[in-house]
Amino acid sequence: QVHLVESGGGLVQAGGSLKLSCAASGINFRLHTMNWYRQGPGNQRELVANITGSGVTNYVDSLKGRFTISRDNVWNRVYLQMNNLRPEDTAVYYCKTNYKGRDYWGRGTQVTVSP
């Protein structure tokens, strides 16, 4: 059974940093692209970044330079380093992967950025 658990969210002031973590189980982790999404208040869920099993990364253009996605294929974790956070980054951040044609999501971790 695929299981994704996010952690690392919290309350931070604008300009601060947070590093999110997603622990994955139930899949051959190194073979799977991992994704970070977010959903802000009143907004649709949107892709933030993803990383292939071999480490190729992709970012939403608006977040390039502030956010960095990485992974550890030994510990089956994917990370999202977020720097210079802004109030508009406030959202629930989700980890997602696809396994055998089905999307699996974690429950999310709340990130709140105060002005």
Q: What is the pLDDT of residues 25-80, one digit of tens each?
A: 999 999 999 999 999 999 999 999 999 999 999 999 999 899 999 999 999 999 99
Kindly state the tokens that stand for 86: 């802004």
Give dist(CA 17, CA 69) in Å, integer: 14
Give dist(CA 34, CA 98) in Å, integer: 8
Write down the pLDDT at residue 64: 84
User: Is residue 34 a contact partner of residue 77, using CB atoms and an 8 Å limit?
Assistant: no
Write down the pLDDT at residue 51: 98
Q: Which residue, among 30, 29, 36, has the nearest Cα to 54 in the 3D structure?
A: 30
- HSE on the CB side for 29, CA within 13 Å? 16
DSSP string, 2-43: -EEEEE--EEEETT--EEEEEEEESS-GGGS-EEEEEE-TT-
Q: What proportion of the chain, given as a percentage, has pLDDT over 70?
A: 100
